[in-house]
Structure 1
Amino acid sequence: MAIDDNDAEPALGEYASPPCFMHELSPDYRPDAAPSDAWADVARWRKAERQRLIEERLAVDVDERKARSECIAARLDAAIGRISGRIVSAYWPFRGEPDLRNWSIKVIERGGRIALPVVIRKGWPLEFRIWAPGDPLERGVWNILVPSHGPSVQPDVVVAPVVGFDAANYRLGYGGGFFDRTLAAMTNQPLTVGVGFAGSRLRTIYPQPHDIPMSAIVTDE
């Protein structure tokens, strides 16, 4: 279920070239190209879209971005449902992402617990550590604040920021594969909710076998 009121299918021309696509992205594309060649073209397309979407997000006025974040926070409650007694993985905002820190505090006030994702090592699944206001934080990978210590837990709900997303709830992230790798390793699958600004919607991200769709996408529209 995509929690997004903008259900109209955008015209293909609104987005960068699709990978049939291959002849546009790769001048030496051959119809009998190997799957690995196709993935290389998808990866190049994703890199370009990722850069474009991040630049557009950072260009939004700070006050407007704050207002959009508040809209997303208001809609998250409907997507998640009951909060009390559940562990919700949130995140510390990075590079213009929706800022849900106030919403996270309200989760704690309503009887939930907040965990923040921590990168342990490249190629490893994320670790989720419980966090509450006043707990010490330190700079982690990409200089993002993460809990300095605390119990590692498996969340009931994972709220993940998206760089881009599509109608099938696939998430375009930063390219490290951390969330997909983490979800694939979990024994009990959590509710996964992607959050992003409506302008980040793509016709498709051209999902690959390793990509895992989110349960829902929440935007500001």
Structure 2
Amino acid sequence: MHELEPGYRAETAPMDAWADVARWRKAERARLIDLRLLADPDERKARSELIAAELDLAIGKVSGRIVSVYWPFRGEPDLRNWAVQVIGRGGRIALPVVIKKAWPLEFRAWSPGDPLERGVWNILVPANGPAILPDVVIAPVVGFDDANYRLGYGGGFFDRTLAAMPKRPLVVGVGYTGSRIATIYPQPHDIPMDVIVTDE
């Protein structure tokens, strides 16, 4: 319960075993998701637009590049309008697809109007199409720390995918400023993002 007290700082609690870290991450994940779901939808929309503007600065030119975004889920920043703008500027968009548990993600090309189907967790994904390798991967964060480590949903999909990719893309974590935590207690399997983009 001390983790819920105001002023609690994660680095004050020693984490000596993966079981301790996993238990802490589960609780922190639930807290952060609940926090962002409490935000007013109009506020989330405004914050998503700020994130989109910052993404343009972080990524730079998109013409001729494949940018992987995601379909928003559980209050995540909504970058769908930004993705359409990327296409308008000569870039291509890919969406991540969960093939099965403990496998790397597959990225499939997407444009507005392409058929979508419900994938894992009921998230919309491209219904068909060949797998492609993105030049930029945008990963939503549940939480993040100053070392650019990402707290996700606990499935390990993004870390597993990045470790398996033949060429590392630019990896950009996106989330709300309130998702910042002192540390995620990174483990050997955790891969830091190249940059984290927030609404501030």
TM-score grouping bracket, smaller chain normalisation: over 0.9
Identity of aligned residues (%): 76
**Correspondence 1:146 to 2:146:** no
**Unaligned runs of at least 5 residues, structure 1:** 1-12, 23-34
Structure 1 residues 16 and 54: alpha-carbon distance in aligned structure 2, compared to 1, 3 A threshold: farther
* SS of residue matched to 2:186: coil
Corresponding residue of 1:56: 35
Separation of aligned partners in 1, 2:83 and 2:55: 11
**Correspondence 1:201 to 2:194:** no
**Correspondence 1:40 to 2:19:** yes
Summarize the alignment of residues 184-195 of structure 1 with structure 2, pairs less than 5 Å apart: 184-195=163-174
Corresponding residue of 2:82: 103
* SS of residue matched to 1:128: strand
One of 44, 68, 92 as aligned partner of 2:47: 68
Backbone CA RMSD of aligned residues: 1.4
Counterpart amino acid of 1:152? Answer: A
* SS of residue matched to 1:152: coil
Structure 1 residue 198 displacement after superposition: 0.1
Separation of aligned partners in 2, 1:104 and 1:97: 15
Corresponding residue of 2:97: 118
Question: Contact (CA 8 Å) 1:98, 1:161: kept in 2 or not?
Answer: yes
Corresponding residue of 1:5: none
Structure 1 residue 150 displacement after superposition: 1.1
Structure 1 residue 19 displacement after superposition: 6.6
Q: Deviations over 1:143-181 (max 9, x none)?
A: 000000012101000000000000000000000000000
**Correspondence 1:213 to 2:186:** no
Counterpart amino acid of 2:175? Answer: G
**Correspondence 1:178 to 2:164:** no
Separation of aligned partners in 2, 1:122 and 1:110: 35
User: Given the two structures, how large is their TM-score scaled by the length of structure 1?
Assistant: 0.86
One of 101, 108, 111 as aligned partner of 1:132: 111
Question: Contact (CA 8 Å) 1:161, 1:196: kept in 2 or not?
Answer: yes
Larger Rg: 1
Question: Contact (CA 8 Å) 1:19, 1:42: kept in 2 or not?
Answer: no
Counterpart amino acid of 2:7? Answer: E
* SS of residue matched to 1:153: coil
* SS of residue matched to 2:13: helix
Question: Contact (CA 8 Å) 1:19, 1:41: kept in 2 or not?
Answer: no
One of 66, 83, 86 as aligned partner of 1:87: 66
* SS of residue matched to 1:125: coil
Structure 1 residue 16 displacement after superposition: 5.5
**Correspondence 1:21 to 2:14:** yes
Structure 1 residues 15 and 182: alpha-carbon distance in aligned structure 2, compared to 1, 3 A threshold: farther
**Unaligned runs of at least 5 residues, structure 2:** 1-5
Large movers: runs of 4+ above 2 Å: 13-22
Separation of aligned partners in 1, 2:107 and 2:146: 28
Separation of aligned partners in 1, 2:167 and 2:84: 25
* SS of residue matched to 1:21: coil
Question: Contact (CA 8 Å) 2:10, 2:183: kept in 1 or not?
Answer: no
Corresponding residue of 1:9: none
Corresponding residue of 2:3: none
Q: How many residue pairs end up in the alignment?
A: 196
* SS of residue matched to 2:57: helix
